[in-house]
Amino acid sequence: MAKDTDSDPIPRHVAIIMDGNGRWAKARGRPRLFGHRAGARRVREIVESCPELGVKYLTIFAFSTENWKRTQVEVSGLMALFKKYLLTEIRDLCDNGVRVRFIGDRIRLEPALVSLMNELEEITKDNSTVNLTVALNYGGRDEVFRATKRLAQDVADRKLSPDAINEETLPKYLDTHFLPDPDLVIRTSGEARISGFLLWQSAYAEYEFIDTLWPDFTPDIFEHVLRNYGKRERRFGAVIA
């Protein structure tokens, strides 16, 4: 894989909606959790490809606030998979200089999972090769109303004046306060919707909706999508001469 050049810019922050695990399993006549396990294995390869591709921040959507609507079997299987994954796979990533953080509401997650998440954030806090953020029990609307509650509390406590609420102060209340905005959002599996992912943060992101199902998403496909991004012209509302 070749490194980017100035004429071929690579997005600094890439966010991925990892979709299609269920359909991947169904196509093989297997239960949905078989697809989730295959999907989880892909994450490591994609994270490991980031330094060479020049991606500094990678944010992945692992479980949405709406995914609780799935069957009990699937939800508890996913939670068990997250715990197993955090214990095994991701620990190796730490040794590769990956800093891991989580966004989403931890309140509904089981304490054993939350303590693993906290531990991982702590042990990787001095890493800086790749910033991996995992969205777990994350919803864009859920994030905005939780942020608004905290902001309203600060106004009530007179720590913040309503006049000081602007594009700089509001994002400090979001789960993503430590991240730059995503430059590129990729969704796999052919669905052209964002399902609540990073609503505020993606206001000027580029989007790529690709047909590949998440368990088939290789570093080569990732690189190809990043190259396409390099050909786009971002205008941010201005007129480029």
Q: Which residues are at the interface with ligand IPE (CB under 6 A)?
A: 17-23, 61-64, 67, 78, 189, 191, 193, 195
Binding partner of 62, given ligand IPE, Mg ion, none, CB within 5-8 angstroms per partner class = ligand IPE
19 interacts with Mg ion by CB under 5 A: yes
Residue 96 annotated as catalytic: no
Q: Please state the closest distance from residue 115 (CB atom) to ligand IPE, in A.
A: 22
Residue 95 annotated as catalytic: no
212 interacts with Mg ion by CB under 5 A: no
Count the residues of the shown chain that bind Mg ion, applying the rule CB under 5 A: 1
Q: Please state the closest distance from residue 62 (CB atom) to ligand IPE, in A.
A: 6
**Which of 9, 77, 6 shows the shortest CA–CA distance to 226?**
9
Q: Which is nearer to ligand IPE, 21 or 49 (CB)?
A: 21
Contact residues for 195 (Cβ-Cβ < 8 A; gap 6+): 17, 61, 64, 66
- Phi and psi at residue 43, in whole multiples of 5°? -60, -45
At position 163, the amino acid (one-letter code) is D
User: Which residues are at the interface with Mg ion (CB under 5 A)?
Assistant: 19
